[in-house]
Structure 1
Amino acid sequence: MAIEITSKDNQAVKAAAKLMSSARERRQTGRFIAEGIRLCTEVLENHCKICEVFYTEDAYLRYTETVERLERAAGKSYQITDEIAEKIADTVTPQGVFVVAEMIVNTIDLDNIKTDGQFVLLENLQDPGNVGAIFRTAEALGLNGAFLTNDSCDPYNPKTIRASMGAVFRLPYLIVDDVVTAMKECKAKNMRPIASVPDEASKITAIRFFKGAIMCIGNEGNGLSEQLKAVCGEKVTIPMNGRAESLNAATAAAILMWEMVRHYA
């Protein structure tokens, strides 16, 4: 049976709100929060361990069957007011359903990496929507995993989870502290990190990719670091017509990953 909470100062409410806003809190606790009936269902169906479920009375009436499934899976259940839902929420018009769950350990092991697979690497990407969209596309195209530098957006950021439509729970990834060293290790295994750059490079449409390709995507404003470009060696670019000088990072990544998959040797 759900515990009723009416105060915004309740400790469970404060903890949930902190998970929503703080990457540090998520890292330290090993927990994350998901919002909305669709994402809460994704958490359940991807076998994350659900610690707590929060829902409003209106949400229970609208989504009774799903909320009851979440309650059965959760360690604790709380019925909250609309005002508390707004305090916790990351969206403008919350649906009034939230789950707190343990992060899934679905990491890439460099010692046992699939050396003939295909991967994407994100260096210092800051927009959670971009990171989530890239995860979603990478999963859809059948990539084997993703690398993220430790200064990139947290994969369990609520906006990232939402943009990924749950792909962050399924696509293996590794957060790397030293991207140059990590890519050198991959090269030692005959893998091929490839730098995506805006110009002065081979056209992506003219490249034939081989086993072990790692497509490297850089920061939204500054692109890839010179150090990473140097270790990559090979560089590719997306040919563009018209007056556009660049593409959104997630859009560019989708094109690059598609061409990598399509021309896989």
Structure 2
Amino acid sequence: MLTSLQNPLVKQIRKLHASKQRREQGVFLIEGTHLLEEACAVDYPLITVCFTPEWQLQHQQLWQQTIQRAERAEIVSPEVLKAIATTVQPDGVVATARRNYRQREVLFTGLGLALETVQDPGNLGTIIRTAAAAGASGLWLSEDSVDLDNPKVLRASAGQWFRLPMAVSAELKVAVRECQQAGMQVVATLPTAELTYWEVDWRRPSLILLGNEGAGLSAELAAMADLQVRIPLCLGVESLNVAIAAALMLYEAQRQKSCVRS
């Protein structure tokens, strides 16, 4: 059992709390039973898994699945587990995995999202969770956004992080152009647009553009859109949360497609 906070493995995992270290090591954290279950459900490869004896006793089946997938498994004391976790009350298990989402294929079909300079990890995680629930085919994220593997992003996604195809783009305009060339209509959200979001024919393959929480979409990216739409707001309300805006359009698209099937 690992009990010392000075253990080299413990020190290495603790460094992953910082974005810079996750990038340099090419590794990220998977914290908690639910996220680990979701990772195992899709056979996501694990590097190290650390768990307390109590967790091992309570989750025998998941423990067996985990040690078969992980390169290394370690029993740790509750004190060590708390030190390597980013949550205040960790539930007994923390794992690490390789940061390979840049190679995850994003399909240029159906319904997709392109997010520019989204900064709040809770917003990004909620968008990922909603996109997966609404049947989106994938998500592009600009490189200047919050880290896709930020621990808060994973938690806010409720495990859907492992199921939705995603990629980070150093040049989001190129990714958007590729989607257009593949036949997708690109839809930007702007408060001054004439069309409301429910007037769009979402039965067509579509890419939704969403921008920064404060500044919105850049002028360059908004100009690339085939359609610009607005979400009507009552007088005095300036804007909606970006995750709520994403949910409204994703589920309007699902509603329109459901009407066609029925």
In 2, Cα distance between equivalents of 1:88 and 1:141:
34
CA contact (8 A) 2:118 2:124 kept: yes
Aligned partner letter, 1:63: H
Aligned to 1:15: 12
In 2, Cα distance between equivalents of 1:66 and 1:221:
41
- Residue range with higher mean Cα deviation, 196-205 or 223-232: 196-205
Matched, 1:118 2:115: no
Matched, 1:232 2:225: yes
CA contact (8 A) 2:142 2:172 kept: yes
Q: Give 1:222 shift.
A: 1.0
Aligned partner letter, 2:124: V
CA contact (8 A) 2:179 2:207 kept: no
CA contact (8 A) 2:32 2:93 kept: yes
Superposition map of 1:27-46 within 5 A: 27-46=23-42
What is the alpha-carbon root mean square deviation over aligned residues?
A: 2.1
Q: Give 1:127 shift.
A: 1.1
Which runs of no fewer than 5 residues in structure 2 stay unpaired?
A: none
CA contact (8 A) 2:10 2:80 kept: yes
- Residue from 178, 188, 193 that aligns with 2:171: 178
- Residue from 240, 244, 256 that aligns with 2:249: 256
CA contact (8 A) 1:48 1:102 kept: no
Aligned partner letter, 1:85: L
Q: Cα deviation per residue 1:94-146 (whole Å; 9 max; x = unaligned)?
A: 1121111234556236xxx53x4211111111111111111111111111111
Q: Cα deviation per residue 1:49-88 (whole Å; 9 max; x = unaligned)?
A: 1221111233233334433432333222212222222211
In 2, Cα distance between equivalents of 1:223 and 1:47:
36
Distance 1:207 1:73, change over 3 A: closer
Distance 1:16 1:146, change over 3 A: same
Identity between Structure 1 and Structure 2 (%): 34
Q: Secondary structure of the equivalent of 1:208?
A: coil
Aligned partner letter, 1:18: K
In 2, Cα distance between equivalents of 1:68 and 1:93:
24
Q: Give 1:229 shift.
A: 0.6
- Residue range with higher mean Cα deviation, 153-162 or 183-192: 183-192
In 2, Cα distance between equivalents of 1:97 and 1:76:
13
- Residue from 129, 146, 159 that aligns with 2:139: 146
Q: Give 1:233 shift.
A: 4.2
In 1, Cα distance between equivalents of 2:254 and 2:61:
40
In 1, Cα distance between equivalents of 2:10 and 2:191:
45
Normalising by the residue count of structure 2, what TM-score does the alignment of the two structures yield?
0.89
Q: Give 1:6 shift.
A: 1.3
Q: Secondary structure of the equivalent of 1:146?
A: strand
Aligned to 1:5: 2
Aligned partner letter, 2:71: G
